[in-house]
Amino acid sequence: AVILGIESSCDETSASICIDGEIKSNIIAGQAVHAKYGGVVPELASRAHQQNVIPTVDQAIQEAKISKKEIDAVAFTRGPGLLGSLLVGTSFAKSFALARQLPLIEVNHMQAHILAHFIESPKPAFPFLCLTVSGGHTQIVLVKDYFEMELLGQTLDDAAGEAFDKTAKILNLPYPGGPLIDKYAQEGNPEAFRLPEPQIPGLNFSFSGLKTAILYMVQGKEAENPNFLQENMADVCASVQSRIVSILLNKVKKAVKQSGVKDVAIAGGVSANSGLRQGLLELGEKHNWNVFIPKFEYCTDNAAMIAIAGYHKYLKGEFVAQDIAPLARMHV
Ligand code: ATP
Ligand code: MG
Ligand code: FE
């Protein structure tokens, strides 16, 4: 079966073609327009999706070397995300399916981040644990089957990606700051600055206290030395990253202990972080876990994960009617 996947939940317009479970193209159009605002501006995101969606889909079809006529079903991100952005992808998918009389498949974006692990081998076996860390979410999920997922814990305030991005703002780095903190961290000493680890019960997370601690630390140091940040950027970034990673991985350890499941995956934009990838690999080796780390292109938002999720729903015949509407909030 040939599946067209469409992703438009935030600020990436993406289209992908999946043929019998193999990704043939994955085109991602980013939106530079948000950089000068220091975050995604929803109204501008919707407009950019509107401009990008047709060329992006055309390019995905071209790169897969198929014709429109060969597409068997259309899968789209229903949510969670920005409603105006979701509406563009959803409306496009519905129109395309209606015009070509194709079945329509709704995909949950957070499930899709996890199902990106089924794009390439080695694929995890069920059940496995997944730490999903992105711009809007931080979750530990027990994945029992493709579409049977149990939320074991989540953030009570900021997401891990937000912790990176808000810290970057404090450090005067441009949006999105996650990748930049990662880059500086590679040259720095993770033990240079002591940052607190919050004591949150169970498998839940909290990052807002850390953000405040970083702000006060930087303000204090800058009062003594106005050039503090310029002189210590690498050490500050390394310390911040190492603390965020330890908060995440300590909960993963706890989840493995509680569930007895030793197959552990990471997913979402923050799974591109080199400290998190390295940390999980080391834990896996130490504790004999099977760890699954996605390729960089499948960490942040992309339509390949929507197409692969759509393919597995296609196999089950799980289609939706034309009156389907996007949802800003959706559970895994
Ligand atoms: P959600 O999936 O929750 O709806 P989103 O789709 O906006 O949110 P993603 O595209 O999955 O999120 O991830 C974007 C986030 O990943 C941003 O916060 C960004 O800073 C972060 N990120 C990307 N690369 C890295 C990196 N190397 N290190 C740390 N954070 C990173
Ligand atoms: Mg994005
Ligand atoms: Fe995402």
Q: What is the pLDDT of residues 65-82, one digit of tens each?
A: 999 999 999 999 999 999
Ligand number nearest CA of 175 is 1
71 three-class SS: coil
The continuous run of DSSP H or E covering 292 comes out as strand 290-292
The pTM of the full predicted model, rounded to 2 decimals, is: 0.97
Ligand with the closest atom to the CA of 11: 2
Residue 276 has pLDDT above 90, yes or no: yes
Residues of the chain above pLDDT 70, percent: 100
Cα(293)–Cα(266) distance, integer angstroms: 6
Quote the CA–CA distance of 291 and 274 in Å, as a whole number: 15
Closest C-alpha to ligand 1, atom 9: 269
pLDDT per residue as tens digits for the range 171-197: 999 989 999 999 999 999 999 999 999
Residues 6+ apart with CB under 8 A from 32: none
Strands 104-108 and 73-79 come out as parallel
Rounded mean pLDDT of 231-258? 98
Ligand 1, atom 4: closest residue by C-alpha: 136
- Confidence band, pLDDT 50/70/90 cuts, at residue 36: confident
pLDDT tens, residue by residue, 78-117: 999 999 999 999 999 999 999 999 999 999 999 999 999 9
CA of 161 to the centre of ligand 1 (A): 5
| pLDDT tens by residue, 47-62 | 999 999 999 999 999 9
Q: How far is the CA of 131 from the centre of ligand 3 (A)?
A: 13
Instruction: Look up the ipTM and state it.
Output: 0.98
The pLDDT of residue 146: 98
- Name the residue at shortest CA distance from atom 8 of ligand 1: 135
Q: Which region holds residue 317: left if phi is over 0, alpha if psi is between -120 and 50, else beta?
A: left
**pLDDT above 90 for 35:** no
Tell me the best of 270, 278, 302 to mutate to test the pocket of ligand 1, counting ligand atoms within 8 Å of each CB and taking the most. 270
What's the pLDDT at 38? 85
Q: What is the 3-state secondary structure (H, E, C) of 135-191?
A: CCCEEEEEEEECCEEEEEEEECCCCHHHHHHHHHHHCCCCCCCHHHHHHHHCCCCCC
For residue 135, report the distance from its CA to the centre of ligand 3, in Å: 7
pLDDT given for residue 179 in this prediction:
97
**Contact yes or no for 153/139 (Cβ under 8 A):** yes
- DSSP 8-state assignment for residue 14: E
pLDDT tens by residue, 133-144 = 999 999 999 999
pLDDT (mean) for 292-315: 98
- pLDDT on residue 46: 98
Q: For residues 269 and 113, is the Cβ–Cβ distance under 8 A?
A: no
Question: In the sheet that 73-79 helps form, which strands lie side by side, from edge to edge?
Answer: 22-29, 13-19, 2-7, 73-79, 104-108
Which residue has a Cα nearest atom 1 of ligand 1?
136
Residues near ligand 1 (Cβ within 6 A)? 9-10, 81, 109, 113, 134-137, 161, 164-165, 176-179, 182, 268-270, 272-273, 300-301
Percent of the chain with pLDDT over 90: 98
